[in-house]
Structure 1
């Protein structure tokens, strides 16, 4: 078993080239440093350093051992750091900025579990209208959709596949489209103006179709309001299938998937956090969020049967349809 003080002494002498500055750097007497080097050479059974003029230079064994020595010290430091982290309490203030699509449908219910698991945590939840534009050292972000470089690490948690939905009563009155070109004759419910510049649709056999939705008489800025409007029969709109499955689980028959073979673009769900070493509270939260990703986001199960969204998406009572 190697003595870490002896290994540190050897690496330091390799860096400085002589005993005096090495001893000063380590804060020990020159005689103490010399003794540690001698003890290490005795343990190894061969010299590691030899004197040349006023400097100590490595022998062949010293050059070979130096690389291993650095690895041993690095592993020792890493293990100590991880052990120190285990002693660090998961407590303090943390902030999560979450896209409004996931605020109620996914994050809120899981944060109750996280707070129960870590009583020392004080949590702030926000749902800003725009993604981060620069480094944010105070918050973790969960975002849906495209992102630009903002100085934060961007980790993809999964993707939300989307579909075209309407209420069955609306389709009974206005007809069910059989091709994207028929969508132009339908009322359109727009979320945040996201489809007003056009909606690309992809078919596995018939290629791509670029649909330009008609002017929307109803525009909303929240996913819950968007789904509510479509479920009330106001028209067609694009909804993540995972959210639609959750709505249908609580209120069957409110949403009907149109043109199932024509696929709108999927949306990336991204986790954003600062670069570098994280505090234990942030590491605990990041790991927790990764563990709570629904299987449907990873494409592991059918969206209709995968972990559904929270009942928070459902209205307090069933709507009346005309």
Structure 2
């Protein structure tokens, strides 16, 4: 087994080409440096350096051994850093942002479990309705497209969407049987989604551009959209996973229709800065990866196949 101090001395002399310069670099007496070089050569069983004029250069064996010496020292440094991380406490303040649709329930629970594990951490949570330009001292969980950004985006999953209404709405106005029927129904839309021309997808029939009625009611938050649909104001595209979470707390408030037609998929991303990250942020990122709902990568088909009430064919006049 090689002595790391001897390897360090050898690598330094090869780099500097001078015992004198290396003594200054390593802050060692010249006699100690020479002794370490001789000890390494005795250990490997052959000379590694040769003196040429006023410069020291590696011989053929030295050139080969220099490459491995560098690798050994780098691995030793990585191992020491890894052990230091185990001893380092996760502490300090994190500023955590989350899209408004995810902040209640899943996100608040993951922050709570993270803080339970790391007692010395302090957290500030900020709800986001607009994609952040920066995320200093923290990270952001975002739902939907991000556009161009200088931040690092790590995919966490995706949420599929379907068309939902309330049982009361369907009882009053009937259930649409084709995408074309939606034009005769009131619609609760998220601001911006209708402007881009949402397209419905069917596994056999292909795509259908969604044409919204002029009387569409628009909101800027998923929770407000859900409240409006639950109260019978109209139909709307909603992420299946978010609907399932609401149904756990308020059973029977939503019912899907046109269950084989799916809306645009919404990506879920973890957003954080590039570069070297502080220990507390790396710990949080690792924690988020471990609590991502499996449905985000493999949406449950059962979410899209709930029974639809068999109602009449009346259409809204509002």
TM-score normalised over the length of structure 1: 0.89
Tell me: CA distance 1:32–1:79, structure 2 relative to 1, closer, same or farther (3 Å).
Answer: same
- CA deviations on 1:189-227 (whole Å, 9 max, x unpaired) are 012332233111111111111113123553222221111
Equivalences for residues 63-102 of structure 1 within 5 A: 63-102=63-102
Equivalent residues of 1:160, 1:266 under 8 A apart: yes
Structure 1 residue ranges (4+ consecutive) displaced by more than 4 angstroms after TM superposition: 300-303
Secondary structure of residue in 2 paired with 1:98:
strand
Equivalent residues of 2:129, 2:221 under 8 A apart: no
1:109 is displaced (CA, Å) by 2.2
- CA deviations on 1:165-211 (whole Å, 9 max, x unpaired) are 11122123222222212211111101233223311111111111111
Partner residue, 1:234: 233
2:312 is equivalent to residue 295 of structure 1: no
- CA deviations on 1:69-101 (whole Å, 9 max, x unpaired) are 111111111111121122221111111011101
Equivalent residues of 2:90, 2:280 under 8 A apart: yes
Between 57-66 and 119-128, report the one with greater CA deviation: 57-66
1:53 is displaced (CA, Å) by 2.4
Cα distance between partner residues in 2 of 1:257 and 1:41: 77
Secondary structure of residue in 1 paired with 2:63:
helix
Cα distance between partner residues in 2 of 1:149 and 1:178: 39
Cα distance between partner residues in 2 of 1:176 and 1:196: 25
Equivalent residues of 1:167, 1:254 under 8 A apart: yes
Cα distance between partner residues in 2 of 1:77 and 1:303: 51
Cα distance between partner residues in 2 of 1:149 and 1:221: 21
Partner residue, 1:273: 272
Cα distance between partner residues in 2 of 1:303 and 1:192: 28
- CA deviations on 1:200-255 (whole Å, 9 max, x unpaired) are 11111111111131235532222211111111111111111001112223333221
Cα distance between partner residues in 2 of 1:21 and 1:33: 11
Cα distance between partner residues in 1 of 2:41 and 2:29: 19
Tell me: CA distance 1:6–1:300, structure 2 relative to 1, closer, same or farther (3 Å).
Answer: farther
Partner residue, 1:109: 109
Secondary structure of residue in 2 paired with 1:266:
strand
Cα distance between partner residues in 1 of 2:90 and 2:236: 43
Partner residue, 1:262: 261
Cα distance between partner residues in 2 of 1:54 and 1:300: 71
Tell me: CA distance 1:66–1:201, structure 2 relative to 1, closer, same or farther (3 Å).
Answer: same
Aligned-CA RMSD value: 1.8
Tell me: CA distance 1:108–1:257, structure 2 relative to 1, closer, same or farther (3 Å).
Answer: same
Partner residue, 2:217: 218
Partner residue, 1:313: none
Equivalent residues of 2:11, 2:70 under 8 A apart: yes
- CA deviations on 1:122-141 (whole Å, 9 max, x unpaired) are 1100012211224x332211
Equivalent residues of 2:161, 2:238 under 8 A apart: yes
- CA deviations on 1:300-319 (whole Å, 9 max, x unpaired) are 645649xxxxxxxxxxxxxx
Cα distance between partner residues in 2 of 1:216 and 1:197: 17
Partner residue, 1:6: 6
Partner residue, 1:52: 52
Cα distance between partner residues in 2 of 1:178 and 1:242: 23
How many equivalent residue pairs? 304
- CA deviations on 1:267-303 (whole Å, 9 max, x unpaired) are 1111111223322211221111111111100116456
